[in-house]
């Protein structure tokens, strides 16, 4: 898994006040995350070349339950710092 974008994602979620909503999505939605990941993967061809890697990394993280939980823990930790 590509974790190189995690810090950037955490900062963006903090900036736009979406951290709480993101934590709910990461920890409580179960199969909905997989559906969201599939939509993200389907949209990659329409993304700019710069953001394709970020979209793919986010989709892969959403599909992997352990990786989603790890990112949620990272997101909580980032909000404290």
Determine the pLDDT at residue 49: 80
Q: pLDDT tier at 17 (50, 70, 90 boundaries)? A: very high
Determine the pLDDT at residue 1: 75
**Burial of residue 28, with CB atoms counted within 10 A of its CB: 0-12 exposed, 13-18 middle, 19 or more buried:** exposed
Residue 15 lies in a domain: yes
49-63 vs 31-43: helix axis angle to the nearest 10? 160
Residue 72 lies in a domain: yes
Global confidence as pTM: 0.85
Q: Which of 13-22, 40-49, 57-66 has the lowest mean pLDDT?
A: 40-49
Residue 1 lies in a domain: no
Number of structural domains the chain divides into = 1
Determine the pLDDT at residue 80: 59
């Amino acid at each position: 898994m590509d974790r190189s974008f995690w810090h950037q994602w955490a900062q963006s979620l903090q900036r736009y006040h979406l951290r709480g909503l993101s934590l709910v999505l990461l920890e409580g939605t179960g199969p909905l995350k997989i559906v969201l990941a599939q939509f993200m993967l389907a949209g990659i061809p329409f993304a700019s070349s710069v953001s394709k890697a970020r979209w793919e990394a986010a989709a892969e993280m959403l599909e992997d339950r352990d990786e989603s939980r790890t990112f949620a823990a990272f997101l909580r930790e980032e909000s404290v710092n």
